[in-house]
Amino acid sequence: MRNFPVPYPDELVYSMVARAGIYHGITSPKQLLDEVFENRKVIATLDLPCHLQSISSLFQNTGRYSVEELVYQHTLFPLYAPFVTESHKSRALQMMAGRSQGAVHLMLGVAASRIQSSDRFRYCPECIKNQHQHYGEYFWQRNWFFPGLAVCPEHGPLSILTNGSGSHRHHFFAMTPQSPVDCELSSVNEELLRLAIYANKFLNMSPGYSPDFEQWTSFYRDLASDFGFCRGRHINHGEIHERVHACFHPSTLTQLNLYTDSATETGWLKGIFRKHRKAFSYLEHAIIWQSFIAELEPEDVIDRVRKIKPCTKVVFENTASSTLSKNNEHLQVQRQTWQKLVLQYGVLNARNSRPGKALYAWLYRNDKCWLMAFNFEHKEQRTNPELKADWHRRDLVAIRQLRKLLQEIAPSYAGPRLSANFLLCKLQQSSTIEKNLDKLPLVRMFLQRYTETITEYQIRRLTNTCAEMQRQGEPLKKWLVMRKAGLSQERLRPDAQTVLNELQLF
């Protein structure tokens, strides 16, 4: 097909195909499939479409819209990508370029998730006014289709069509405003709107390497520990539950199908703080991040998880054990050859070697995510000799970063406990520093002096909360102060208890 419509910002691929039908006056769904895909079996999919190589090649002359660009900017893939393993993610990407027969949804955990994506068409009555004004036509915008969350991040309620869905196998429907009689308005509260704004940030994150399950496991364990919710290796799920419920009303959680009782052993909220064996959905992650570390941007949180002890071994095991189809056997051989070269010569020398040059170019074209991640992990050790032994210099660099960090933290700081772990995570090469503290006397001294004990942390939360409530003119009731501060009577340290008594709250 010539003159395939160029996508609008945030327009779903589904919508582009539908507009192509209108532009070319094609009324028969089969003819549209023939013209666009040269394949009548393509299934119309709103969220995670396939056959994107065909769409991408329609843009050949523009020099833009690679499969990757389409996937990351015109489908809901970015809502899933950071939370599945790297091997599942790359496999899903490959399938979206070609055929999938439903396997993409399985691969990204959509099918098994508590959060079901709805096929019903929905749109934001306010957004479409803007569309009409700016572009003179309408299109399906991807941030109207957050799975399990019918909220426009900009305006709130969405019109959901009572009849009509995107699951007509081969039919692409163009966006047209409906009469209010044919729609129902989704119900929205402030908490749901906050989640939608967050989800929109997930959509617009730049592509990156997906953390593995071990990294997620450590991240949540550290988070619990930063908030003083750990006793040794034991996590106090009751306290976590309390904190999440202080931020989200039970009715909101019920509406999201994510309500859990603190007594249930198998709920998602307990599961996510245990050893990760499966991917959790963007909403489950978002609810916890908003309850614990709302001041951080989602992209920064994921970056932090990526930096947790990059566990090379696990990455290889995952890749090796992933079910690679026959087509992928060649890919596997190429990966192994590259691994051998790098382990023998280092990344830079491997790239410059005779067999390495062509191999690097091939992997760059066909398996970029894996290649970048593998090289990144081997770069530090192999190609940075000047930094390798210079611990004194590292000590100075790290201490400068730590001082700056401390200056940036406002006196009214309301975030997690300033534990050694929390501060170290913010450093470049944090895991190297963490592992070699014995060689870094300045950093060690800094941490001894400036990290917050649990008691100090509790007192800070108490005083900040009281100050904030006083500013807002709220009565300082003891139970309310405790709830807002995220503290509970049982785990209050003796000195924090003394401060609390001295405040003489009622």
Which one, 50 or 196, has the nearer CB to Zn ion? 196
Which one, 110 or 127, has the nearer CB to Zn ion? 127
- DSSP structure string for 1-37: --SPPPPPTTB-HHHHHHHHHHHTT---HHHHHHHHH
- Residue 71 Cβ, how far from Zn ion at the closest point, in Å? 23
List the interface residues with Zn ion, window 151-180 (CB under 5 A). 152, 154-155
Which one, 127 or 359, has the nearer CB to Zn ion? 127
For the record, the structure tokens of 85 come out as 């393993």
For the record, the structure tokens of 310 come out as 């990059």
* Site size for Zn ion (CB under 5 A): 6
- Residue 5 Cβ, how far from Zn ion at the closest point, in Å? 22
Which is nearest to 114 in space by CA: 264, 282, 291, 292?
282
Which one, 154 or 299, has the nearer CB to Zn ion? 154
- Residue 124 Cβ, how far from Zn ion at the closest point, in Å? 3
Which one, 192 or 288, has the nearer CB to Zn ion? 192
Scanning 13-21, 88-96, 117-125, 477-485 for contacts with Zn ion by CB under 5 A, the matching segment is 117-125
Helices 354-366 and 368-382: crossing angle in degrees, nearest 10, is 130
Tell me the backbone φ, ψ of residue 173, rounded to 5 degrees: -95, 135
According to the binding rule CB under 5 A, does residue 224 interact with Zn ion? no
> What is the spatial order of strands in the sheet that 183-185 belongs to?
120-123, 159-165, 183-185
- Residue 130 Cβ, how far from Zn ion at the closest point, in Å? 8
- Residue 8 Cβ, how far from Zn ion at the closest point, in Å? 14
Which one, 32 or 188, has the nearer CB to Zn ion? 188
For the record, the structure tokens of 30 come out as 């089969």
Alpha helices of 123-256 — where are they, by DSSP H?
125-135, 190-203, 213-226, 237-247, 250-255
- Residue 72 Cβ, how far from Zn ion at the closest point, in Å? 21
Q: Which single residue brings its beta carbon nearest to Zn ion?
A: 124
Please check whether residue 169 is in contact with residue 41, taking contact to mean a CB–CB distance below 8 angstroms. Answer: no
Binding mask 69-108 for Zn ion (x = CB under 5 A): ----------------------------------------
Tell me the backbone φ, ψ of residue 319, rounded to 5 degrees: -65, -40
- Residue 16 Cβ, how far from Zn ion at the closest point, in Å? 20
- Residue 154 Cβ, how far from Zn ion at the closest point, in Å? 4
Instruction: Indicate the burial class of 209 (C-beta count within 10 angstroms; 0-12, 13-18, 19 or more).
Output: buried
Please check whether residue 272 is in contact with residue 288, taking contact to mean a CB–CB distance below 8 angstroms. Answer: yes
- Residue 390 Cβ, how far from Zn ion at the closest point, in Å? 53
Query: Would you mind telling me the total number of residues written for the chain in this entry?
Result: 506
Please check whether residue 99 is in contact with residue 50, taking contact to mean a CB–CB distance below 8 angstroms. Answer: yes
Which one, 129 or 275, has the nearer CB to Zn ion? 129
Binding mask 137-156 for Zn ion (x = CB under 5 A): ---------------x-xx-
Binding mask 118-137 for Zn ion (x = CB under 5 A): ------x-xx----------
According to the binding rule CB under 5 A, does residue 377 interact with Zn ion? no
Coil vs helix vs strand at 163: strand
Which one, 57 or 189, has the nearer CB to Zn ion? 189
- Residue 200 Cβ, how far from Zn ion at the closest point, in Å? 11
Binding mask 265-304 for Zn ion (x = CB under 5 A): ----------------------------------------
Residue 156 DSSP symbol:
E
Give the CA distances from residue 351 to residues 131, 338, 355, 379, 440, in Å, rounded to whole numbers and listed in that order: 48, 9, 8, 12, 34
CA angle, 215 then 217 then 218, to 5°: 65
Residue 227 DSSP symbol:
T
According to the binding rule CB under 5 A, does residue 32 interact with Zn ion? no
Which one, 10 or 452, has the nearer CB to Zn ion? 10
Footprint on this chain of Zn ion (rule: CB under 5 A): 124, 126-127, 152, 154-155
